[in-house]
Amino acid sequence: MRFVNPIPFVRDIDRSREFYEKIVGLTVREDLGNFVLFESGFAIHEGRSLERTVWRQEFSSTEPYGRRNLLLYFEHEDVDAAFLRIAPHAEMVHPVERQEWGQRVFRFYDPDGHAVEVGEPQDLGASGKAK
């Protein structure tokens, strides 16, 4: 068995696709209407249709799907440039800052309230520890 990816539920698939494509800078690989797969392997799914598929019913809640209990992680070669592109269009958690393990990251919320982190690539080497 191999893990492939999480698929966040989104309320408005068009709004979320545009956000991840135009603001975050991901490239759409496949758009099936209620499911969008990006070239990186990241995907989003329209929440109501996924509720019907998984639980065989739609839930009437209008709460955001993002519950501040999951962090979507991306890497970018130029974290500062990514921050400048994304920050004006998203609710920021914090600007670029160095973490205790040495990596520079920033965090924000997507349109559904999912927490997103963008960090500079890390060279973990054979030990699994950042260099």
pLDDT grade for 112, boundaries at 50, 70 and 90: very high
In a domain, 22, yes or no: yes
In a domain, 78, yes or no: yes
The full DSSP string for 3-46 is ------EES-HHHHHHIIIIIS---EEEE-SSEEEETTS-EEEE
In a domain, 105, yes or no: yes
Looking at residue 126, what is its pLDDT? 56
pLDDT grade for 124, boundaries at 50, 70 and 90: low
pLDDT digits (tens, 9 = 90+) for 29-55: 999 999 999 999 999 999 999 999 999
In a domain, 4, yes or no: no
Looking at residue 68, what is its pLDDT? 81
Number of domains forming the structure of the chain: 1
pLDDT digits (tens, 9 = 90+) for 57-97: 988 888 889 988 899 999 999 999 999 999 999 999 999 99
Check which CATH number belongs to the domain holding 31 and give it: 3.10.180.10
How far, in Å, CA of 42 to CA of 54, rounded?
Answer: 19
Looking at residue 63, what is its pLDDT? 85
Query: Is the C-alpha dihedral spanning 112, 117, 118, 123 positive or negative?
Result: negative
Q: What domain range is 85 assigned to?
A: 9-119
